[in-house]
Amino acid sequence: MCSGRKILVTRPAHQSENMCRLIEQQGWKAIRFPVLEIQARDLSALDSQHIQEIEQYQHVIFVSVNAINFALPLISGKMECLQKISCIAVGKASYQALQAHGVRDVLVPQLGFNSEAILAMPEMQDMQGQSCLIIRGAGGREFLADNLRKHGARVDYLEVYKRVIPVSDSGLIGEYLRHKALAAILIYSGDALRNLLQMLAKEDIKKNLLHTPVLVISQRVRDLAKKIGFKNIIIADEASDAAMINAILKEEQHG
């Protein structure tokens, strides 16, 4: 990849700076174009009850760093209780975020960073009579909860944030696409991919968009990108910024 090539970074603005810094260290140019905005969600009476009674759960599962950042201020009065519960982080970034907030003895899957990896953990095999609280954003997959229930667990959700499409001017990105000036697009979720298409919906750039290399974090997002019609899809080994950079460098080496 030539020096100065443009990499489109679609992460929410508050999560993109480290990625952009790593891109620029390679001599490339980071183009910031958030396709998701993360906002606090109004809690229901049931949500508040789950927080107040958090000590009843044997396992509390945090699915993302956003889940941690939005949930822990709400749970602040119950942090002592949280220390006595099995807290599970989906990936390394979430594990580090919980540790940074003083949550001790956090479990994290050794292989993988998704619902399947959590279900494969030894601690998740005998769930009969166990209760789990999944802390996440509004919506999302039901796979984890469905499988925990099949294993005999009671599962509740605490949805502390929501994802919305940000208001932004896509004119410059459209020009980049018309001139085939983007070397790659970084995508971290299926929602991000769908929002990208909605924000760049003009027919005169769609063909170039679908031919632009897209770098994704999982096989599931790859399958969605392929179904949508993207022609060049790269999968990072994991969801970390370093893994994304390594995937770009590996693709460059392979030509």
Cα separation, 11 vs 74, whole angstroms? 24
The token pair at 92 is 């390394």
Whether 2 shows a pLDDT value over 70: the answer reads no
Fold for the domain defined by 6-36+167-253: Rossmann fold (3.40.50)
Q: Convert 94-156 into a string of H (helix), E (strand) and C (coil).
A: HHHHHHHCCCCCCECCCCCCCHHHHHCCHHHCCCCCCEEEEEEECCCCCHHHHHHHHCCCEEE
Whether 51 shows a pLDDT value over 60: the answer reads yes
DSSP string, 15-37: G-HHHHHHHHHTT-EEEE----E
Q: What local confidence, expressed as pLDDT, does residue 80 receive? A: 87
Question: Contact, 223 vs 236, CB < 8 A?
Answer: no
Whether 139 shows a pLDDT value over 90: the answer reads no
DSSP summary character for residue 53: T
Q: How far apart are the first and last CA of the chain?
A: 8
Whether 198 shows a pLDDT value over 70: the answer reads yes
Mind listing the pLDDT tens digit for each residue in 62-107? 999 999 999 999 998 888 888 899 999 998 889 999 999 999 889 9
Averaged pLDDT for residues 48-56: 95
Per DSSP, the three-state class of 80 is: helix
Cα separation, 26 vs 22, whole angstroms? 7
Whether 246 shows a pLDDT value over 90: the answer reads yes
Give the number of other Cβ atoms within 10 Å of residue 99's Cβ.
Answer: 13
**Right CATH number for 39-163 from 3.50.50.60, 3.40.228.10, 3.40.630.30, 3.40.50.10090?**
3.40.50.10090
Question: Contact, 63 vs 134, CB < 8 A?
Answer: yes
Pairing verdict, β 86-89 and 131-137: unpaired
Q: Which residue type, as a one-letter code, is found at position 211?
A: H
Query: Residue 222 contacts by C-beta under 8 Å, 6 or more apart in sequence?
Result: 216, 233, 235
Q: How confident is the model at residue 4 (pLDDT cuts 50, 70, 90)?
A: low
Q: Which residue type, as a one-letter code, is found at position 178?
A: R
What whole-number percentage of the chain has pLDDT above 90?
79
The token pair at 179 is 């001139």
Q: Are the folds of 6-36+167-253 and 39-163 the same? A: yes
Locus of tokens 């004119």: 171
Whether 1 shows a pLDDT value over 90: the answer reads no
Mean pLDDT over the full length of the chain = 92
* Domain assignments of the chain as residue spans, ordered by start: 6-36+167-253, 39-163
